[in-house]
Amino acid sequence: MRQATGMHVGLAGAGRIGGFHARALARSPFVRTLTITDADPARAAQVAREVGARAAGSPEALIEDGVEALVIASATPAHASLIHLAADSRLPVFCEKPIALDLKTTDDALRHVARAGTLLQIGFQRRFDAGYRAAREAVMSGSIGELYLVRVAGHDPAPPLEDYIAASGGIWRDLAIHDFDVVPWVTGQQIVEVYADGAVHQPSFARHGDVDVAAAAFRLSAGALGIISASRHDPLGYDVRMELFGSKDSVAVGLDGRTPLRSLEPGALAPAKPAWRDFMERFEPAYRAELDGFLQAASDGSPTLCSGQDARRALVVAMAAERSRAERRPVRVEEFA
């Protein structure tokens, strides 16, 4: 049930992830009123009706309507301009990743937010997932001991449409960037060097200079090593995992009865439940928690768990991975500093 003292929240974007956020915000105890806008006014009105919210004709109309916080779930090209709009209005803002696909646009937005002195949280929802939080605690508490190796995997169940591929920024900026964010957060070590490669199995990716299967080795700032795999097609389902190997213990995130992976060892049991359909099903609790975390921070001034600078660092690692794939060499992240 909503608190009487909740906030008036504006949501920019009513597409797939925007509709998902609309349902979460409509149920959030931190939200008193929800107003939604979208480039397609009919879609905004439909989602608003479904969740009992209001609709506005434009982002500017949201501001004029007196919203107290802005959630950005629009297409990536609109993210930076909406962040600027929020900063101009001194509004706390939550923005789905990425801020932008290039550093200049990203840095311009970050400087504007810094001048305005407002809150900016970026949507890297894995920081709010129970498994990743437990992994971070295992590292920080010392129960793993000295960290030797990190292995992360991100495999989508089905390739995106070609229109999406064309504007995505590539597999490293779009898919693997979540891993490039959560690895430093869990381990307490920054990624300093990447050696990446990729392959094309579906022509739609090649037409846009992208790959649909990729892998990389990376080095962390305190000496641990990492391995990442990324794929746009896993016919068994959505598969996202992290494994940590240390001097005292080895642990995994995302290894459960719904992991789309089967053992060929004699007597091994098949996965007990259907595999995760997509990222929204797998991370639904984390998505709700990150929005509530943002609204809590916007209400009481507490720090955000995922800042704009955090998002910039993940983008830089993704750019280093892409340069490594293109030039077939290890790339130091500092090349993009």
What is the band of 272 on the pLDDT scale with cuts at 50, 70, 90?
Answer: confident
pLDDT digits (tens, 9 = 90+) for 16-52: 999 999 999 999 999 999 999 999 999 999 999 999 9
Say which CATH architecture domain 7-118 belongs to.
3-Layer(aba) Sandwich (3.40)
Q: Where in the chain is the domain with CATH 3.30.360.10?
A: 130-277+314-336
pLDDT reported for residue 106: 98
What is the band of 150 on the pLDDT scale with cuts at 50, 70, 90?
Answer: very high
Kind of pairing, strands 54-55 and 31-37? parallel
pLDDT reported for residue 3: 44
pLDDT reported for residue 271: 85
Is residue 2 predicted with pLDDT exceeding 50?
no
* Arithmetic mean of pLDDT, 145-150: 98
Backbone phi and psi for residue 262, each to the nearest 5 degrees, phi listed first: -125, 145
* Arithmetic mean of pLDDT, 128-137: 98
* Arithmetic mean of pLDDT, 194-218: 97
In this structure, of 97-111, 112-126, 255-269, the range with the lowest mean pLDDT score is 255-269
| Proportion of the chain above pLDDT 90, given as a percent | 96
Q: Which of 233, 279, 287, 234 is nearest to 261 (CA)?
A: 234
Tokens for 269, please give them: 């049991």
What is the C-alpha to C-alpha distance for residues 131 and 118, in angstroms, rounded to an integer?
Answer: 30
pLDDT reported for residue 1: 32
What is the C-alpha to C-alpha distance for residues 110 and 119, in angstroms, rounded to an integer?
Answer: 11
Q: Which amino acid belongs to residue 214?
A: A
pLDDT reported for residue 72: 98
Q: What is the pTM of this model?
A: 0.95
pLDDT digits (tens, 9 = 90+) for 159-187: 999 999 999 999 999 999 999 999 999 99
pLDDT digits (tens, 9 = 90+) for 294-317: 999 999 999 999 999 999 999 999
Tokens for 294, please give them: 């943002």
Is residue 270 predicted with pLDDT exceeding 90?
no
* Arithmetic mean of pLDDT, 127-137: 98
Cis peptide before 98 (omega within 30 of 0): yes
Q: Where in the chain is the domain with CATH 3.40.50.720?
A: 7-118
pLDDT digits (tens, 9 = 90+) for 78-112: 999 999 999 999 999 999 999 999 999 999 999 99
What is the C-alpha to C-alpha distance for residues 5 and 30, in angstroms, rounded to an integer?
Answer: 8
Is residue 260 predicted with pLDDT exceeding 60?
yes
Q: Which residue has the tokens 């439909």?
A: 46
Is residue 154 predicted with pLDDT exceeding 70?
yes
pLDDT digits (tens, 9 = 90+) for 52-86: 999 999 999 999 999 999 999 999 999 999 999 99
According to CATH, the superfamily of the domain at 130-277+314-336 is: Dihydrodipicolinate Reductase; domain 2 (3.30.360.10)
Cβ neighbours of 82 (radius 10 Å)? 23
Backbone phi and psi for residue 102, each to the nearest 5 degrees, phi listed first: -130, 160
* Arithmetic mean of pLDDT, 253-258: 94
Is residue 155 predicted with pLDDT exceeding 60?
yes
Specify the higher pLDDT residue, 273 or 110. 110
Greatest Cα pair distance, the chain, in angstroms, is 65
Cα Rg of the chain, angstroms:
20
